[in-house]
Structure 1
Amino acid sequence: MLKVNSIQCHYNQNNRPQSNNSGGEANSAGLAILNDISFHVNSGEICCLLGPSGCGKTTALRAIAGFQPISHGEIILNDRVLGNSEFQLDPEHRNIGMVFQDYALFPHLTVLDNILFGVRKRPAAEQQKIANDLLALIRLEDTKKRFPHELSGGQQQRVALARALAPNPTLLLLDEPFSNLDVDLRRHLNLEVRDILKAIGTSAILVTHDQEEAFAFGDHIGLIHEGRLQQWDTPFNLFHEPINRFVANFVGQGRLLPGMALDQHRVQTELGVIAGNRAYQWQPDTPLDILMRPDDIVLSDSDGILAEVIKKVFSGSTTLYTLRLPTGSLVESLFPSHHDYQLGEKLTVRAQVEHLIAFTIDE
């Protein structure tokens, strides 16, 4: 459905696309913001662009929407070229909906008029059906005569979603739409919006810096760092099969523990021998860094090693402990909060790794 093929974007004083003669690096004409970004969104699929602030994810969304010209590559929607280095289809002709971070509702229009803003030229009967269907979908039938300032933040965001869906776009883009909401409402609305999109079969791309939000929302996630797409994968694979150190460190919690390859299946570490669940390409005696997630470190009665509690973060039902091993290496472990260990206390722990993630020193 949507194909983004090797796109590059540059910024310069005039915000115009520039030719790229330096492999995606900054050149004299402009600064490269995106470098060879490629991914594919299937029909009915919900995807996320994830990454830290300033990584280029919003620029990628703007390029798809038509607000940011591309200097290399092409963007294709349902076999129709939306843009390349020589051609840029206007945003209003792309049949793409957009939901913004600040909702962007018209304050002088009612909920009903906001929703119908993009379909005002259609017959009255068709507008009425669109309004009824969308108000029912977002469960705000009783608010159609209210103005935006009379709604809660979550209600405003649902109205913004309905307005973007009214023209029946082929693709919906969401630019950090939940970031202005409190934590509980953000989580609830994240799932609610996903259910709405799945119910009507609309493809969507969400931009976010929140990995929990991306995991809950997306069928596929693209992790971007410094203008490059590091990995495009399912949430499960992104967490359990990170392609490099950045992905491993950004997605989920964990620490890297030094180790040495014994063979293609086993690694010797301070916490003992850790066995993988498949064959790896490491040669014996290859130095490695092993990613240890908090759930990989468990308490042990007798066959573990002593670790000192140097930090604890209470989060209600669980507490995240940072532990210092005898060599000074740090690992993290997540225990039920009724196990209340104190700073400086020594715990006997061992590794219980079901899935081995490791990187060579030069990776």
Structure 2
Amino acid sequence: MRTDTLLKVDSIQCQYGSQAVLDGVSFDVNDGDICCLLGPSGCGKTTALRAIAGFQPLTSGTITLGDQLLSNHSFQLEPEQRQIGMVFQDYALFPHLTVGDNIRFGIQKSPLLEQNEIVDSLLDLIQLESIAQRFPHELSGGQQQRVALARALAPNPRLLLLDEPFSNLDVDLRRHLNLEVRDILKEVGTSAILVTHDQEEAFAFGDRIGLLHNGRLQQWDTPFNLYHEPCNRFVANFIGQGGLLPGMSIDQHRIKTELGVMTGNRSYDWPANTPVDVLVRPDDIVLNPDNGISSTVVKKVFSGSATLYTLQLPTGSLVESLFPSHHDYSVGDTLNIQAEVEHLIAFLPDK
């Protein structure tokens, strides 16, 4: 398995005036990996991207690309010397240049024959050979996005940064281009970091995702682990659907809840009878008409192939469950349910 580290972000801090925007953020990007920085507005994810690109100085910490120092508290390599490409939210295409010339812009110092080969290759890669002579205003949003990607790839950067490049597109086009851009990056073998506030977008795009909150990196992990193995309450609540259900520890592996005793392979060292909160995802809740716990449907959200139900337990606690849409229950219906939790995740209650 490849373990070569391309980018190393080590305990970086960034400030705007006296306000710390990033505080001790660390993560690695391996060669060929596609990663995401995810989080709510104001969490510091765009500042982290700007620091990597060379537009934001560091108060402390270091950023290195391979063996090359990019930034520390006293040094900042110029952006154009970093071998890093960037795709902006508004694409920033030059309106007076054709598609082909926009792609050519960053490689104009290369021999003309080499320029032509690179432009032709990238036009083929983004499947826009037939409109190479058009101008940006003649393109759709999706076409502009692909041209911006090709222009960023033309100088063969070691790392590509994408600052919410899909946010101006409609939902269906965003989903399509998200996967398309990922496929293009994998085909050319370029490592990338995407900044987004949309976790569905991050899950589809990233090999690894970093979740930021209040300038601190909460967890840097695979999409699977972020969902099933969140490291703290913020990650558990922010990622995916579901919620925290009150319980009481029995021993290291078992927790008693209103939905019965939940058992997992994770060990907790809390004393018996410690109050805890257990993470319950919609896929943890199943129907058990004969021996289940009674619950009442209080909300439903239909999404085509499945319906997300919010269910109220006898104590008033709420859980969510995702059932195939051909099971059509109404608000007010009573359902007998049980929990089948494969990943038992629990936290001490907030003080």
Smaller-chain TM-score bracket: over 0.9
1:218 equivalent in structure 2:
206
2:102 matched to 1:106? no
Matches within 5 A, 1:335-346: 335-346=323-334
Alignment partners' CA distance in 1, 2:66 and 2:258: 53
**CA deviation digits over 1:63-105, x for unaligned, max 9?**
0001111111111111111111111111111111000111111
2:288 matched to 1:323? no
Alignment partners' CA distance in 2, 1:145 and 1:135: 11
Of all paired residues, the percent bearing the same amino acid is 74
Matches within 5 A, 1:46-195: 46-195=34-183
Task: State which of 271, 274, 292 in structure 2 corresponds to 1:304.
Answer: 292
**CA deviation digits over 1:127-175, x for unaligned, max 9?**
0011011011111111100111111111110000000001111110000
Gaps of 5+ in 1: 13-29
Task: State which drifts further: 164-173 or 282-291.
Answer: 282-291
Alignment partners' CA distance in 2, 1:198 and 1:281: 42
Q: Which amino acid aligns with 2:7?
A: L
Alignment partners' CA distance in 2, 1:194 and 1:288: 40
Q: How many aligned positions are there?
A: 346
Alignment partners' CA distance in 2, 1:144 and 1:348: 60
1:332 equivalent in structure 2:
320
2:10 matched to 1:5? yes
2:194 equivalent in structure 1:
206
Alignment partners' CA distance in 2, 1:42 and 1:300: 45
- Give the 3-state SS of the residue equivalent to 1:193 in structure 2: helix
1:15 equivalent in structure 2:
none
- Give the 3-state SS of the residue equivalent to 1:320 in structure 2: strand
2:333 matched to 1:348? no
1:26 equivalent in structure 2:
none
- Give the 3-state SS of the residue equivalent to 1:101 in structure 2: coil
The structural deviation recorded for 1:362 is 4.6
The structural deviation recorded for 1:193 is 0.8
The structural deviation recorded for 1:278 is 3.3
TM value normalised by structure 2: 0.97
Task: State which drifts further: 179-188 or 152-161.
Answer: 179-188
**CA deviation digits over 1:32-52, x for unaligned, max 9?**
100000001111111110101
Q: Which amino acid aligns with 1:45?
A: D
Q: Which amino acid aligns with 1:72?
A: S
Contact preservation (8 Å) 2:44, 2:215: yes
Q: Which amino acid aligns with 2:228?
A: H
Alignment partners' CA distance in 1, 2:159 and 2:21: 23
Q: Which amino acid aligns with 1:7?
A: I
- Give the 3-state SS of the residue equivalent to 1:239 in structure 2: helix
Alignment partners' CA distance in 1, 2:304 and 2:246: 32
Q: Which amino acid aligns with 2:145?
A: Q
1:21 equivalent in structure 2:
none
Alignment partners' CA distance in 1, 2:318 and 2:289: 20
Contact preservation (8 Å) 2:254, 2:263: yes
Q: Which amino acid aligns with 2:214?
A: E
Alignment partners' CA distance in 1, 2:23 and 2:68: 22
The structural deviation recorded for 1:236 is 1.1
Alignment partners' CA distance in 1, 2:271 and 2:285: 26
Alpha-carbon RMSD across the aligned residues, in angstroms, is: 1.1
**CA deviation digits over 1:231-269, x for unaligned, max 9?**
011111111110000000111101110001111111110
- Give the 3-state SS of the residue equivalent to 2:75 in structure 1: coil
**CA deviation digits over 1:313-335, x for unaligned, max 9?**
11122111111100010101111
Contact preservation (8 Å) 2:255, 2:261: yes
Alignment partners' CA distance in 1, 2:309 and 2:224: 24
The structural deviation recorded for 1:120 is 1.1
Contact preservation (8 Å) 2:289, 2:335: no
- Give the 3-state SS of the residue equivalent to 2:193 in structure 1: strand
1:228 equivalent in structure 2:
216
1:25 equivalent in structure 2:
none
Alignment partners' CA distance in 2, 1:87 and 1:117: 28
